[in-house]
Amino acid sequence: MFPDLQQLADALDAAERDARAVVDGLTEAQGGWRAHPGAWSIAECLDHLGTANTVYLDAMAPPAARALSGGRLRRRPAKPGLIGGWFASYLEPPAHPIFKSRAPKKIRPRAAPPLRDAFAFFLSSHEEIGAFLRTYAAIDLAGVRFPNPFVRGVRFSLATGLHVLAAHERRHLWQAWNVRRAIPSAAPSTD
């Protein structure tokens, strides 16, 4: 695998390890605990990631498949451009206190999803990112564009999309860790 793609694969592996660690030993009650009304629980963070990963990959897959079938092979490393790089860096943790934004409606988490379901959904979507990376590693990820599923008229390179997904996972896993550290010791520890 090319070094730039190996870095993305390594980032995905690290995110999966982090997600497994954040849920390790939690009960359903702890996984659904919220610091305050309107805050997300650990389960909601994971559910949001599963949904966002799926929506993004659904937008990325058709142009990637066309590029593969059309023989549009890799020309340069899978790095985002200037604007795409800025957007990916914006998603890195910690969330910026001034430029904090709400998740678009189509990727908001379900209300109070069970922790086990949300975690399984995240892992499934996460595996799909890895499969996408393996399937399309040979195409020109930096040159093939896909329509942003949230902002009409905006197109990103597939490379940007992959970097956005990785940064977005880090951001919400960081958020989940903050929730886990805040769970009161008096919170129910058994289901």
Domains in the chain, CATH or no CATH each = 3-24+38-182 (1.20.120)
**Given this model, what pLDDT does residue 87 score?**
85
164 touches 56 (CB < 8 A): yes
Distance separating alpha carbons of residues 160 and 107, to the nearest angstrom: 19
Label residue 8 exposed, middle or buried (CB < 10 Å: 0-12, 13-18, 19+): buried
Enter the pTM of the model.
0.91
Question: How crowded is residue 136: how many other Cβ atoms within 10 Å of its Cβ?
Answer: 23
Please tell me whether residue 152 adopts helix, strand or coil conformation.
coil
| 185 pLDDT higher than 60 | yes
Per the omega criterion (within 30 degrees of 0), is the bond before 94 cis? yes
What are the backbone angles phi and psi of residue 190, rounded to the nearest 5°? -130, 155
d(CA 32, CA 18): 18
What's the mean pLDDT when you consider all of the chain? 91
Whether 99 contacts 90, CB under 8 Å? yes
- For 144-161, write each residue's pLDDT tens digit: 999 999 888 889 999 999
26/150: higher pLDDT = 26
The mean-pLDDT minimum among 22-31, 59-68, 91-100, 135-144 falls in 91-100
